[in-house]
Amino acid sequence: MRSRSPSLRFSRRGVSLLTILISLALVAAMAMVAIPAYFRSPDVTLEALVRLLDRDVRALQNRAAFAHAPALLRFSSDGWQAVDLEGRPLCALGDQHTIARSFERDGVFEGLTFERVELGPDAALTLDERGLVKDGGKLFARFGDGWRQIEIEVGAGHLVVTQPAPR
């Protein structure tokens, strides 16, 4: 009988660590190119803006209804901020962070602007003590060559989004 040596009994199969590292480096390089290009797309950025605005309006409505206190969502060309009638910043229920967005500060929205704000007094959305929107209005958001018209309805505060022709 012949015995085999331990080194011959097991063959070396598999992927080397170097192959795995090279693969990871290639995936990282592709992600570095693809992810910024994805977020530079006007459709993606404007859709994210609408979702975030809708979430913040709902959070402010819940806060106003829970606290039985009117609230304002003030808009500027660079974003929005939730405040009470005295101008103090407001947080969402159970949250420590204020309901506020700045397009220049929030990296994914850099370059986005509200070209026009057609809302109530002081470019603000007013919510009553039940959390209902008192005066609706329109916002015109622009990112690159993309546009969105966002209409905020009186009452429930539904957001209706259209894509107007560029101006």
pLDDT tens digits, one per residue of 98-137: 999 999 887 668 889 999 999 977 889 999 999 999 988 9
Residue 1 lies in a domain: no
Residue 25 shares a structural domain with residue 76? no
- The interaxial angle of helices 17-39 and 42-67, nearest 10 deg, is 70
In a domain, 167, yes or no: no
Domains contained in the chain, number: 2
Using CB atoms within 10 Å of the CB of residue 107, give its burial: 0 to 12 exposed, 13 to 18 middle, 19+ buried.
exposed
DSSP letters, 78-93, are TEEEEE-TTS-B-B-T
Q: Which range marks the domain in which residue 94 is found?
A: 42-162
Predicted pLDDT of residue 71? 96
Residues 32 and 99 in one domain: no
pTM: predicted TM-score of the whole model, two decimal places: 0.76
Amino acid at 33: V
Torsion of CA 36, 37, 38, 41, to 10 degrees: 120
Confirm whether 68 is domain-assigned: yes
CA distance 132 to 6: 78
Q: Are residues 49 and 12 in the same domain?
A: no
